[in-house]
Copies of this chain bind each other. A is one copy, B any other.
Amino acid sequence: MRLSRYFMPTLREAPADAQIVSHQLMLRAGLVRQEAAGIYAWLPLGLKVLKKIEQVVREEMNRAGAIEILMPTLQLADLWRESGRYDDYGEEMLRIKDRHDRDLLFGPTAEEVVTDIFRSYIKSYKDLPKNLYNIQWKFRDERRPRFGVMRGREFLMKDAYSFDVDEAAARRSYNRMFLAYLNVYARLGLKAIPVKADPGPIGGDLSHEFMILADTGESQVFAHRDLVEMGAPGPDIDWFGDLEPEVARRTSLYAASDEMHDEARFAAMPEDKRMTARGIEVGHIFYFGEKYSKPMKAMVTGPDGKDVPAQMGSYGVGVSRLVAAIIEASHDDAGIIWPASVAPFGAAVLNLRAGDAGCDAVCETAYAALTAAGLDPLYDDRDDRPGAKFAAADLVGIPWQLIVGPKGIAEGVVELKTRATGERQTIPLDAALKAITG
């Protein structure tokens, strides 16, 4: 993309009401624009990142056997009356009347809709397990939306729902999601810790939140150091085999956020294994059994011929929130440092003297080569000061900067800067392209 034809409105300063660094950087780098309290438009750069995160989530869900559907943003109030949540949900639910005075709502979550879909088509244990997910915009009318997309009102969420014939099978579905989530975060360049979460009235141990480590995190996380250093399981595990040992290896080690922290258990660990850090919640998975299937009569016939309510679990990832969380975990004073997997462009080409025949020619060569290699480069071809170009490239956080100026051209070299480390090399163009394309 040629920047002269693009739309990347960077700002020198963030508005004063942006309190946290991800919100400031998202506004300054032109990723989003606030349209109303907690409601954002996604500008081109932000949308590219959002779509890349969405695609990572999608691929890992598919790999773990979940099936994508898309539920509408608007839902019938009557379904929520069936589950009993319509009156309970409170002011965070956006209630709407259509022109015929029917009660609708903008879905804050989709347990009711997915249970209704399930009960309409699936009747037998032979069709289980099933895990249906969607990636859709949701709305929660937060009293005080803040921190940008970290706590917005309209937000993009991946929510998956598993259906099984009994609790043992539901645990297997839960385990698949537990491990798939770790793979998602690892691909996004994040260190994620699964911490025990409040299981609610149903009890049991099948409820985890995933916290990513970032100094600016909202919660305190306490964990066994081995858990932090344990890598993600990776794509090649047998997703329909026995995942219990792989899950147990992780859940047996202590990890909790402040709400569920047990100081005595923590203190009992060897001191060099105790890790405390700030964390941001970026996912929540839990098993809730018959909570919706029973009142909504989502029954399946078991192997014994008897009908039982489906055993359900739900699995949420805040996709738009992850954009901010990644920035919280990966930035410096100059701006964002995107992990390559979600960077809006793979490399930037900075032309320090646009209009100079030599610089233009080298830049065009570099731009064509990087495009052909699938790097999707951004070419800063604007007529602007070098300082402005350096600042913009650092701010928007593209992993590689290939810097082309008249002085280097005369010597047959370009400069290659790695955004994450700030390291610069002065090398021939060919070597720079080779370094970028691997």
List A residues at the B interface (Cβ < 8 Å): 5-7, 9, 30, 33, 35-36, 39-44, 47, 50, 65, 67-76, 91-92, 94, 96, 98-99, 102, 104, 106, 113, 116-117, 120-122, 130, 132, 137, 139, 141, 143, 153-154
Contact = CB atoms under 8 A, between A and B. Distances in A.
B35 A75 contact: yes
B71 A41 contact: yes
A414 B213 CA distance: 55
A40 B99 contact: no
A69 B47 contact: yes
Closest 8 CB pairs of A and B: A9-B121, A42-B70, A91-B99, A99-B141, A36-B76, A39-B72, A41-B71, A47-B70
A72 B154 contact: yes
A137 B5 contact: no
State the copy count for this chain: 2
Given A94-B98, A104-B36, A73 B7 contact: no
Contact of A98 (B40, B42, B104, B141): B141
A67 B7 contact: yes
A6 to B, nearest CB: 6
Contact of A67 (B44, B68, B98): B44
7 contacts: A5-B65, A7-B67, A9-B122, A36-B76, A72-B154, A74-B106, A96-B106
Contacts of A91: 99
A96 B96 contact: yes
A135 to B, nearest CB: 10
A245 to B, nearest CB: 23
Nearest to A120: B33
A114 to B, nearest CB: 9
Contact of A7 (B5, B35, B130): B130
Contact of A73 (B47, B116, B137): B137
Contact of A40 (B44, B50, B72): B72
Contacts of A67: 6-7, 44
A30 to B, nearest CB: 8
Nearest to A154: B72
A94 B94 contact: no
A3 to B, nearest CB: 11
